[in-house]
A = this chain, B = another copy of it.
């Protein structure tokens, strides 16, 4: 994160989801969406040709922890009806990634020029929603205290495959003070639309993670004495699984540049 971005980020603090999407549409911001529109649900984006949509939808349904579906747009439709009615996902995000045959070909600020009538957009839950709930419940988040991106790891935990879509679960890790681990689990379990309860507590090596200090994505964080590493299924999973399936065409959000919805994060909680 550059200084310029940080400065601008402060000025975005009070904006509503609609104002932010409109600013992104007008190229007013190409940074990440972390900390923006706090309390509103943010979403991962995966766009695939109709031809791949059934298998991908089934993959998400079979693996609800890494892939909690918030909305699936109708074939060819680019406008959200449910979580941000009227928002056009072709230019409502700060930045995108475009893939051809599984290879990244560009990272544009809008994708309306690449849109096709056979595309299906999937909006998938994101852990930003449960992070506000954790903070509100008194659970500290080390990566925020240390101004870092949450560390993420590829694991050996195989997802349940569907058609061509198969792969291993990616997890995010938060270092939680031991007495607060039950609270962290109880709170996030209510956020099934944002990955829900953790998938593992403590034993990183059982998931094939050898070095906590070397995450595969995000940044390493310093654990405090008495912290326990707690692992949640991560929305990077469907991104990587989709990419590995080498679809003929695919659009996704640029890392950390999410779709900001109009839905308050606690609304989906149970």
Q: Tell me if A105 is interfacial: C-beta within 8 Å of chain B.
A: no
> What per-residue 1/0 map shows which CB atoms of A38-74 lie under 8 Å from chain B?
0000000000001001100110011000000100101
- Contact among B54, B192, B270 for A54, CB-based, below 8 A: B54
A75, B162: Cα distance in complex, Å:
10
For window 73-109 of A, CB contacts with B under 8 Å fall at: 74-75
Report how far A192 CA is from B58 CA in the complex, Å: 19
Encode contact with B along A8-23: 1 for CB under 8 Å, 0 otherwise. Answer: 0000000000000000
Using Cβ atoms and an 8 Å threshold, which residues of chain B touch A53?
54
Complex contacts, A61 vs chain B, CB 8 Å: 57, 61, 69, 72
Contacts of A50 in B (CB 8 A): 54
**A57 contacts which of B57, B163, B189 (Cβ < 8 Å)?**
B57
- Give the docked Cα–Cα distance between A202 and B269 (Å): 25
Chain B residue contacts of A72, Cβ below 8 A: 58, 61-62
Give, as a whole number of angstroms, the nearest-CB distance from A182 to chain B.
16
Specify which of A53, A54, A75, A189 lies most central, judged by the most chain B CB atoms within 10 Å of its CB.
A54
Question: Measured between C-beta atoms, what is the minimum distance from A185 to chain B in Å?
Answer: 13
Complex CA–CA separation, A189 to B192 (angstroms): 14
User: Which residue in chain B gives the minimum CB-CB distance to A71?
Assistant: B62
- Considering the chains assembled together, what is the distance between the CA atoms of A54 and B56 in angstroms? 10
- Within 155-203 of A, Cβ neighbours of B (below 8 Å) are at 162-163, 189, 192
Q: Inside 8 A of A69's CB, which chain B residues have their CB?
A: 61
Chain B's closest residue to A190 (CB) is B270
Closest to A58 in B: B72
Q: A57-B61, A192-B270 are in contact. List 15 more A-B contacts (CB 8 A).
A: A50-B54, A53-B54, A54-B54, A54-B57, A57-B57, A57-B58, A58-B72, A61-B61, A61-B69, A61-B72, A62-B72, A74-B162, A75-B163, A189-B270, A270-B270
Chain A: residues with CB nearer than 8 A to chain B? 50, 53-54, 57-58, 61-62, 69, 72, 74-75, 162-163, 189, 192, 270
